[in-house]
Amino acid sequence: MNLLNTFFNVPVLLQSLPQLLWGLVVTLEIGITSILCGLAGGLFLAVARLYAPRFFAVLIRIYIDIFRSIPLLVLLIVVYYALPFVGIRLSPFLSAVTALSLVSAAYTAEIFRAGIEAIPHGQFEASAALGLSNRNTMVDVILPQAIRIVIPPLTNNCINVLKDTALASVVAMPDLLKQATQAQALAANPSPLIGAALIYVALLWPMVAVVAHLEKRFSKGKR
């Protein structure tokens, strides 16, 4: 067998395409849910770290450091296989979303924190002089400016979350990689894995281009 028949076998790719597309749907469900949960959790952690009492701010910092340090695959295995021993049983979908969201929230919190701290301190002082509460200062003054700063790194983090959904296959979640692996076994040919790789590229390449465009655009704005 030559290279094309082994890795780019068109009949095998076409036969496995419906299975791969179903896996893509599952991957998008896991990825989008995890991204939304990570964004909400990260924003909450970033703001709470600024305004919470010192004890809670330290706990938030510990959480962020731990979940930025632990490998996602290890966390996923712990969530799915270890939690049942303490009476917590999660489905493969919830296990994947929980692990991805916990890690994503930690990274997102640091991104938002950096964006908020990039706002000149005079903005806070001016808001206080106008009699704005901490909540109104953050919602109406600081966050609109900070979000503009953090859009490129947030988009990059979303790309990483979507790529990390491939790890959900270790908990028997029928995502794109799992479906490709099963199709490969049935066909005794690695072409479905190549098809899955091409689908990942088609999905993520536009997002990578968007990140590059945003970084270039905002860097021009700064200059």
The DSSP result for 101-146, as a single string, is HHHHHHHHHHHHHHHHHTS-HHHHHHHHHTT--HHHIIIIIIHHHH
Distance CA 38, CA 153 (A): 14
* For residue 93, pLDDT beyond 90: yes
Give percent of the chain with pLDDT exceeding 70: 97
* For residue 223, pLDDT beyond 60: no
44-80: pLDDT as tens digits? 999 998 888 899 999 999 999 999 999 999 999 999 9
Distance CA 86, CA 84 (A): 5
100-151: pLDDT as tens digits? 999 999 999 999 999 998 888 888 888 888 888 888 888 888 888 888 889 8
Domain that holds residue 53: 3-222
Count: domains in the chain: 1
Q: What is the mean pLDDT of the chain?
A: 89
Confidence of residue 171 (pLDDT cuts 50, 70, 90): confident
Average pLDDT value for residue range 192-217: 87
pLDDT for the residue 219: 63
CATH code of the domain in which 34 resides: 1.10.3720.10
Confidence of residue 23 (pLDDT cuts 50, 70, 90): very high
Confidence of residue 3 (pLDDT cuts 50, 70, 90): confident
pLDDT for the residue 220: 61
* For residue 27, pLDDT beyond 90: yes
Q: Which of 33, 29, 25, 72 has its CA nearest to residue 176? A: 25
Q: Would the pTM count as exceeding 0.85?
A: yes
The DSSP result for 163-188, as a single string, is HHGGGGGGGT---HHHHHHHHHHHHT
